[in-house]
Amino acid sequence: MVITAQQEALVVSSWNEMKDDAPTFALKFFLRLFEIIPSAAKRFSFLRDSTLPLEKNPKLKAHAMGVFVMTCEAATQLRKTGKVNVGANTSVQHLASVHFKAGVADVHFEVLKFALLETIKEAVPYLWSEELKEAWSESYDHLVVAIKNEM
């Protein structure tokens, strides 16, 4: 198995601590991505067309939340089946096509991972450890590799 039962448990238990404020944390890691790579915001059609401040944009929050939830769920899928399953409403091929057409690049995925891990560290400092970091990293990496393999 690519993820151990202990890694899955670390992801799920920290998620349970964060889930009530998950949309806020998710938005935070995307804003961090845009701080580091401001041009990444231009990849989103709904940000190019919007006059709303980034932090008030409901579509940005929804995308950010999608990334957070899918990363968390990947831990369980990987442990159970060894593979990522992005759910019944979409497919890895579709996600690859959307991200490819939007010009999302490796560096965006890399910096988003850094921002995700930083945000988790700040959200649950009392749970933070190298093992927790590794568990979320593994989950995220497998999800992103699955998408990038189809891009």
Binder to ligand HEM among 43, 61, 121, 133 (CB under 6 A)? 43
Binder to ligand HEM among 75, 99, 115, 142 (CB under 6 A)? 99
Calpha distance 140→19 (Å, rounded): 17
Binder to ligand HEM among 18, 27, 60, 70 (CB under 6 A)? 70
Calpha distance 83→20 (Å, rounded): 27
Binding-residue total with ligand HEM (CB under 6 A): 21
Q: How many CB atoms lie within 10 A of CB 91?
A: 13
Calpha distance 101→112 (Å, rounded): 18
C-beta separation of 144 from 109 below 8 A: yes
Residue closer to ligand HEM by CB (options 63, 121) is 63
11 binds ligand HEM (CB under 6 A): no
Residue closer to ligand HEM by CB (options 46, 80) is 46
Find the Cα–Cα–Cα–Cα dihedral 104, 146, 118, 106, rounded to 10°: -30
Residue closer to ligand HEM by CB (options 111, 125) is 111
Q: Which residues bind ligand HEM (CB under 6 A)?
A: 40, 43-46, 63, 66-67, 70-71, 90, 95, 98-99, 102, 104, 108-109, 112, 143-144
